[in-house]
Amino acid sequence: MNSEIFNLIYSSKESFSSDLEAAISYARKAVDISRKSKLKEELAESLITLVHALSEKGNIDKVDDYLYEAIRILETIENSNILLKAYSALGTVYLKTGELDNALTAFKTSLDLSLKIDELDEKTKTLLGIGSVLALKKSYDDALNYSNLALEASRKSGDINSELKSLNNIGFIYNCLNRLDKAEESLNQCILLCNTRGYDNVLVTALDELGVICKKKGNGEKAEENWKKAIEFDTKRGESFYSIAPLLNLADYYFSIKKLEESKNYLQRARKLCIRTNSKLDLISIYELESKINEARGQYKEALKFYKKMHKLDKEIGDQDSVRELKEREYKIIQESKERLVALGHVGRAITETLDMETMVCNINKYAKEIFNFNIIGIAQYREEKREIAYEFFMEDGAIIPKFYSDVDNVSNLAGWVIRNKKSIVIQDTEKEVFKYVVCQEKIANRWGATGKMPRSILYNPLIVADKIIGIFTIQSYSINSFSADDIESFKILSSYVAIGFNNALQSRKIKDQNKELLKLSITDSLTGLKNRRSFFDDLNLCWNWSFRTRAPLSVILLDLDHFKEINDTYGHPAGDYCLIEIAKILRRAIRRESDEVARLGGEEFGIFLGGTDNDGANTVAESILSEIRDFDFNFIGMDFKITASIGIKTVFPAIEHKIDIGEVISDADKALYEAKRSGRNCVVNFF
């Protein structure tokens, strides 16, 4: 890289934590010089640095063009190392604008690239980004897992900024889980390091989160002090995006103690920053608090105005059929049915605050009983690709019916009618009205029911998110005319809450499945499907501890294919890949116990550890592997070849040999492998 541009980029990054205007200025100079010199890689790196500086300042609306320009450049020159930084920066931008699904996609793209090229520094930032997104999506267990991985990786790489952000993120997640002591411990670590290292940007967010914890613990004055400190530190470095949270928290705190004027003042500061930084999610929170303040003052027209602003902003960021839209509905009828709407508000929060499907449906059933009189309740997902309705929950007279499915195109199916027509059903007497919706009057509920009784009053609503039907919600009664006009209107409102909660739970389930797959990919070699190097050493450490406790032996086998380069040179790299895949299959067959593990350590080198296996046992396994590899006939699209391997073994008793550690065991096995190579290859050598 051009030395002048390199120095400008370095200076920009160094200024992030103390002087944002300087950071932006250095990055702009790097961009200008790169453009004039027509240096593509330098331009891409400079643009990404400028994006980080601008987004740190909060000038989000200015960064999109820069980012996509960088990505277009990098895709033409195929520089994965810088491209993954661009996607990581894109994830950061989406995170700050509240576009969480887009942020997750960008971060996962960056993670895939970093895993392919084994780039530790950016992988750390990406893991941290994924953890932040999942925390905001309230998938706290997965968020904590990714944040801990980021903390571990940052400490290995010496990335202090990422270490501090990981500690801060972990503190936030523990706070959300109400594990306040753990949250405080993590945040205090972060603050101590920030004060000694001068990272004011992270210090601001850590002080803000500590303020939230103090408020939870009932220490409002300490919370107020922390939030004001956070704002003070951020103002020194040039008031940025990071001031929004403490400003908003102070406003909320003053509202809670009925200091409405102070609350309004801090809200106005926060709103100006949100507009400047395009922070839409925070702006929604500000509008929500503005409406509460106006309600407290009896200014209901103003309150309604802010509820409408919330609804409009939700539409802009693609937030699906949001809770704020429901609040507008509540406001319109608050004078007519105040008590019922208060109850519905509690129900809505209970439904939408959890991402767990089982908890959500239990909350729906529990609170629906307080509002309606019914005998049957059901919630189902519509699976469009299969044209089927899958009931996640169905209860009749207190008996939960096992999960079942129905055909959406069945003309005798009320739920199918709702989905096909995207309309609600209101039936007050099935004997007279059911023919409007189905071809023939079969038993509506007891086809799958527990009692054999016929429901006489039925309410069905489609669950709609972003104009798409995701399922249905129904309550039914054995009595005629069970549901009043208020019941029908309230059921519509409740169905909107259910749609949000149900969709969130479905998306959370999907994300958890994706995260499991992503975590699996992060510890797996993509070519062979074996564990990768990092996972091998993590698991070896666990096996070492187990061997120490049980006083059992532990054997480590290192295997390297002989003259593998000749396979690639003679038959091509696809043949080499085929060879590695077949070798992996042989090694898998040789490892039969759960305490044993095989991994690809890199290139043509493989590692095996055998828990509870002495040297004789390890030799037996090694000789068997060697023999099978030697005898195997490799055939790749008509090309036949043979290959052999060399093996080094080290056996140790961790409980007895106190002075030796895992690093020495690996080193000794490697020496044995080297001796096997020196001795003519195609053999097993033990290190004693």
Distances (CA, A) of 273 to 188, 244, 315, 316: 27, 7, 21, 18
Buried b (16+ CB within 10 A) or exposed e, 645-667: bbbbbbbbebeeeeeeebeebbe
The whole-angstrom separation of Cα 24 and Cα 410 is: 62
Q: Which of 262, 604, 623, 657 is catalytic?
A: 604
Report whether 73 contacts 40 (CB < 8 A). yes
The single residue listed with the structure tokens 């040039």 is: 238
Pairing outcome for strands 639-641 and 634-636: antiparallel
Is residue 512 packed enough to be buried (19+ CB in 10 Å), middle (13-18) or exposed (0-12)?
Answer: middle
The length of the chain is 688
Q: What angle do CA 307, 418, 368 make, to 5 degrees?
A: 55
Report whether 350 contacts 362 (CB < 8 A). no
Distances (CA, A) of 488 to 368, 373, 444, 474, 476: 13, 12, 20, 11, 12
The single residue listed with the structure tokens 């103390």 is: 18
The whole-angstrom separation of Cα 327 and Cα 283 is: 16
Catalytic annotation on 604? yes
Phi, psi of 384 (to 5 degrees): -60, -40
Ordered DSSP codes for 154-223: HHHHT-HHHHHHHHHHHHHHHHHTT-HHHHHHHHHHHHHHHHHHT-HHHHHHHHHHHHHHHHHTT-HHHH
Closest by CA to 38, choosing from 73, 67, 62, 68, is 73
Element (H, E) at 121: helix 120-136
- Angle at which helices 160-176 and 200-216 cross, to 10°: 20
The whole-angstrom separation of Cα 147 and Cα 202 is: 15
The whole-angstrom separation of Cα 364 and Cα 377 is: 9
Residues with active-site annotation: 604
